[in-house]
Amino acid sequence: MDIRTLTEKSPVIADMKEQKEVIWINPDKTDFASACVGAELSMKDIDDAEARLARFAPFIQKCFPETADRGGIIESVLTPIPEMQKLLNKKYGSGLSGRLLLKQDSHLAIAGSVKARGGIYEVLKHTEDLAFENGLLSEGDDYGKLASPEMRGFFSRYKIQVGSTGNLGMSIGIMSAAIGFTVIVHMSADARQWKKDLLRSRGVTVVEYESDYSEAVKNGRRLSDEDPMSYFVDDENSRNLFLGYAVAAKRLAGQLAEQNVAVDAEHPMFVYIPCGVGGAPGGITFGLKHVFGDAVHCFFVEPVNAPCMLLGMASGMNSAIAVQDIGLSGATHADGLAVGRPSGFVGGVMKKHLSGELTVKDAKLYDYMRDLLEAEDIFLEPSACACFQGPIRLMASPEGRAYVKENGLEGKLDQASHIAWATGGSLVPEEIREEYKHTYLD
């Protein structure tokens, strides 16, 4: 399909080609019950992932004492940010009513990003599979014994490899090294130097590429496939990564209940998640839809120069198209979102679940970062601040107002909750934070 045909089929692509900020409402979204018909994955799979994380909690607590307060469960806080809501309404005319909250996956233990969910879960799943296959674990065992020198010696015979722009590599690398695996992270040119340095300090081998994320993944997969002792974590197609992210929804349900935040037909919830290749936002959305059904409305946010998931979904081509095909470079200051080609698997699953997408200019990421620091004294890395484009733009836009009307949400917005999903930031070194604070783009 040529570009002219694409833009005629979906006018939003013409605006994307010009690097304009857009709001796209998914025309294929349907009610939750219909969306689940014939689905490959279900709530049973999410429950299974949740149970596996609970089994590993004793091991995680032994290796990472910072998780002791939660008994080895890796979870982030849900924080009301009323001062940020006031600032957004005053500074940007957002017209945001209801309640704005921040899901601080930016501060998840061990990896300091949302990737601590899917990335760490996939490593643990592979660890469990190897341990059972080799008679090192039996049903009912205390998984804390996996932290022994003998166990580390066994796992050191195996490799784990992954392609990453930064945060996924951090989560895979840190957890894999803790278990004892030999770890190789293939990092694209967009990855920040401090992330490479941190991984190397943990004994992880970092292979650097001058090309983009897709090339790092391609090479990592090829090298792993050539080694029978190597396991490749496939961010583009992994069901395990996806389910690790989905568990977040069950945890969120408990946190909302603790804060007396209702989510139902009369109390809708809007969730805004930064998006790169799609695994993390897709998994989280999949979980949220299974927990809250039609009461939750999920939106992804991508940089204007790397809107790969939006391009894949709006064109209907999913992973068969890359942003470079419409003249975009894929280069962005939002290093974790610097992806040119989306996950076809995630695009397929999201076709009936996702409410829509927004894009955001890089300059605004730094502005939103400073806004949150000023209003709430919370630091996020710039790519994570893409989440604020949702509450700032959606309700103030014609597209957003049409979505509200078509979904019968008029008159309910005062009782709505809005969750900005913060995806990374707590491990950013202080000198880099200062650099970010003083970065201004045109």
Are 218 and 259 part of one and the same domain?
no
Are 203 and 250 part of one and the same domain?
no
Distance CA 22, CA 391 (A): 14
Are 138 and 187 part of one and the same domain?
yes
Distance CA 83, CA 91 (A): 12
Q: Check residue 305 and give its pLDDT.
A: 97
Residue 23 confidence (pLDDT) above 80: yes
When pLDDT is averaged across residues 62-88 and rounded to a whole number, the result is 97
User: Would you place residue 190 in the very low, low, confident or very high pLDDT band (cuts 50, 70, 90)?
Assistant: confident
User: Would you place residue 7 in the very low, low, confident or very high pLDDT band (cuts 50, 70, 90)?
Assistant: confident
Are 291 and 429 part of one and the same domain?
yes
Residue 202 in any domain: the answer is yes
Distance CA 267, CA 294 (A): 11
Residue 47 in any domain: the answer is no
Query: What's the number of CA atoms in the CB half-sphere (13 Å) around residue 281?
Result: 35
Residue 344 in any domain: the answer is yes
Distance CA 325, CA 263 (A): 40
184, 207, 237 — which closes off a domain? 237
Are 126 and 220 part of one and the same domain?
yes
Residue 314 confidence (pLDDT) above 70: yes
Q: Residue holding tokens 């879960």? A: 121
Instruction: Indicate if the alpha-carbon torsion angle 149, 151, 156, 159 is positive or negative.
Output: negative
CATH code of the domain covering residue 161:
3.40.50.1100
Distance CA 397, CA 359 (A): 13
Q: Give the phi and the psi of residue 111 in degrees, each rounded to 5.
A: -110, -10
Are 142 and 30 part of one and the same domain?
no
Residue 165 confidence (pLDDT) above 90: no
Render 314-364 in DSSP notation, one character per residue. HHT-GGG--GGGGT-----S-GGG--SS--HHHHHHHTTT--EEEEE-HHH
Residue 303, classed as helix, strand or coil, is: strand
Are 419 and 276 part of one and the same domain?
yes
Distance CA 314, CA 337 (A): 18
Residues whose CB falls within 8 Å of the CB of residue 304, separated by 6 or more in sequence, listed in order? 16, 19, 20, 21, 359, 360, 361, 362
Percentage of the chain with pLDDT > 70? Answer: 100
Higher-confidence position of 81 and 236: 81
Residue 189 confidence (pLDDT) above 90: no
187, 205, 237 — which closes off a domain? 237
Residue 50 in any domain: the answer is no
Higher-confidence position of 10 and 297: 297
**Taking a C-beta distance cutoff of 8 angstroms, is the pair 184, 176 a contact?**
no
Residue 346 confidence (pLDDT) above 90: yes
Distance CA 385, CA 374 (A): 14
Residue 58 in any domain: the answer is no
User: Would you place residue 335 in the very low, low, confident or very high pLDDT band (cuts 50, 70, 90)?
Assistant: confident
Q: Give the phi and the psi of residue 422 in degrees, each rounded to 5.
A: -80, 120
Residue 49 in any domain: the answer is no
Residue 48 in any domain: the answer is no
Are 140 and 35 part of one and the same domain?
no
Nearest alpha-carbon partner for 4 in 307, 323, 325: 325
Instruction: Give alpha helix (H) positions in 64-148.
Output: 82-92, 115-133
Q: Check residue 31 and give its pLDDT.
A: 98
Are 245 and 377 part of one and the same domain?
yes
Are 93 and 228 part of one and the same domain?
no
Encode pLDDT of 27-57 as tens digits: 999 999 999 999 999 999 999 999 999 999 9
**Taking a C-beta distance cutoff of 8 angstroms, is the pair 273, 421 a contact?**
yes
Q: Check residue 8 and give its pLDDT.
A: 81
Residue 221 confidence (pLDDT) above 70: yes
Higher-confidence position of 93 and 235: 93
Distance CA 233, CA 401 (A): 40
Q: Please state the domain count of the chain.
A: 2
Q: What is the mean pLDDT of the chain?
A: 96
Encode pLDDT of 114-147 as tens digits: 999 999 999 999 999 999 999 999 999 999 999 9
Q: Check residue 235 and give its pLDDT.
A: 85
Nearest alpha-carbon partner for 76 in 415, 431, 378: 378
User: Would you place residue 1 in the very low, low, confident or very high pLDDT band (cuts 50, 70, 90)?
Assistant: low
Burial of 145 (0-12, 13-18, 19+ CB in 10 A): middle
Residues whose CB falls within 8 Å of the CB of residue 123, separated by 6 or more in sequence, listed in order? 160, 171, 172, 175, 176, 179, 181, 233
Encode pLDDT of 245-289 as tens digits: 999 999 999 999 999 999 999 999 999 999 999 999 999 999 999
Domain that holds residue 196: 114-237
Encode pLDDT of 88-122 as tens digits: 999 999 999 999 999 999 999 999 999 999 999 99
Residue 55 in any domain: the answer is no
Distance CA 424, CA 236 (A): 19
237, 259, 291 — which closes off a domain? 237
Residues in the chain: 442
Nearest alpha-carbon partner for 330 in 288, 371, 302, 290: 302
Q: Check residue 431 and give its pLDDT.
A: 96
Q: Check residue 159 and give its pLDDT.
A: 98
Are 323 and 342 part of one and the same domain?
yes
Enclosing H/E stretch for 281: helix 279-292
Residue 38, classed as helix, strand or coil, is: coil
Give the number of other Cβ atoms within 10 Å of residue 402's Cβ: 12
**Taking a C-beta distance cutoff of 8 angstroms, is the pair 76, 102 a contact?**
no
**Taking a C-beta distance cutoff of 8 angstroms, is the pair 315, 1 a contact?**
yes
Are 272 and 419 part of one and the same domain?
yes
